[in-house]
Structure 1
Amino acid sequence: MKFAVAYSTPGQGMDPDRLVEFAQHAEACGFEGLYVPEHVALYRGASLGGFELPTTLEYADPLDLLTYVAAATDHLLLGTAVLLLPYHHPVTLAKRLATIDVLSKGRMRLLTVGLGSLAGEAHAVGVDYATRGRRADEAIDVLRLLWSGGPDGVSHSGEFYNFENLTSYPHPLASLPIHIGGSSRAAARRAALRGNGYFPGGNLPPTERAAQWDLARKTSPRDNLEYTRWASTDLTPVAVHSYARQGVTRLVINPQSLEDLTTFAHRFSLS
Structure 2
Amino acid sequence: MRFATSYNTAYFGADPDQIAAYARHAEECGFEAFYLPEHVVLYPGAAVGSFELPPTLPYVDPLDCLSFVAAATDRILLGTGVLLLPYHHPVVLAKRLATVDVLSKGRMRLLTVGVGSLPGEARAVGVDFGTRGRRTDEAIDVLRLLWAGGEEGVSYDGEFFTLDRLVSFPKPHGSTSLPIHVGGSSRAAARRAGQRGDGYFPGGALAPHEREIQMNLARQSAAEAGRDPAALEYTRWGSIDMTPEKVEALAAQGVTRLVVNATATDPAQRLDELSAFAERFALRDGVGSTGPR
Deviations 1:96-142 (A, max 9, x none): 00000000000001000000000000000000000000000000000
Map of 1:208 onto structure 2: 210
Q: Distance in 2 between matches of 1:117 and 1:89?
A: 18
Q: Distance in 2 between matches of 1:218 and 1:246?
A: 16
Map of 1:218 onto structure 2: 220
Report the AA paired with residue 249 of structure 1.
Answer: T
Q: Distance in 1 between matches of 2:163 and 2:200?
A: 29
Map of 1:6 onto structure 2: 6
Helix, strand or coil: the match of 2:231? coil
**What count of residue pairs does the alignment treat as equivalent?**
271
Helix, strand or coil: the match of 1:3? strand
TM-align CA RMSD: 0.7
1:265 aligns with 2:263: no
Map of 1:129 onto structure 2: 129
Map of 1:143 onto structure 2: 143
Helix, strand or coil: the match of 2:234? strand
- Write out aligned runs for 1:34-49 (5 A): 34-49=34-49
Report the AA paired with residue 123 of structure 1.
Answer: R
Deviations 1:29-72 (A, max 9, x none): 00000000000000011001311111110000000000000001
Equivalent of 1:242 in 249, 252, 271? 249
1:107 aligns with 2:107: yes
C-alpha displacement of 1:218: 2.4
Query: Which segments of structure 1 move beyond 3 Å, counting only runs of 4 or more?
Result: none
Report the AA paired with residue 85 of structure 1.
Answer: L
* TM-score, L = length of structure 2: 0.92
C-alpha displacement of 1:146: 0.1
C-alpha displacement of 1:15: 0.6
Map of 2:189 onto structure 1: 187
Map of 1:172 onto structure 2: 172
Helix, strand or coil: the match of 2:164? strand
Helix, strand or coil: the match of 2:159? coil
Q: Distance in 1 between matches of 2:113 and 2:251?
A: 23
* TM-score, L = length of structure 1: 0.99
Q: Distance in 2 between matches of 1:133 and 1:243?
A: 29
Report the AA paired with residue 236 of structure 1.
Answer: T
Helix, strand or coil: the match of 2:41? coil
Q: Distance in 1 between matches of 2:160 and 2:135?
A: 7
Map of 2:289 onto structure 1: none
C-alpha displacement of 1:262: 0.4
C-alpha displacement of 1:81: 0.3
Structure 2 unpaired stretches of 5+: 264-269, 285-293
Deviations 1:74-110 (A, max 9, x none): 0100000000000000000000000000000000010
C-alpha displacement of 1:164: 0.5
Q: Which has the higher contact order (CA 8 A, sep 6+)?
A: 2
Helix, strand or coil: the match of 1:41? coil
Shift in alpha-carbon separation, 1:176–1:129, aligned structure 2, 3 A: same
Equivalent of 2:201 in 195, 199, 202? 199
Report the AA paired with residue 71 of structure 2.
Answer: A
Report the AA paired with residue 161 of structure 1.
Answer: F
Is the CA contact 2:2–2:256 (under 8 Å) kept in the aligned structure 1? yes
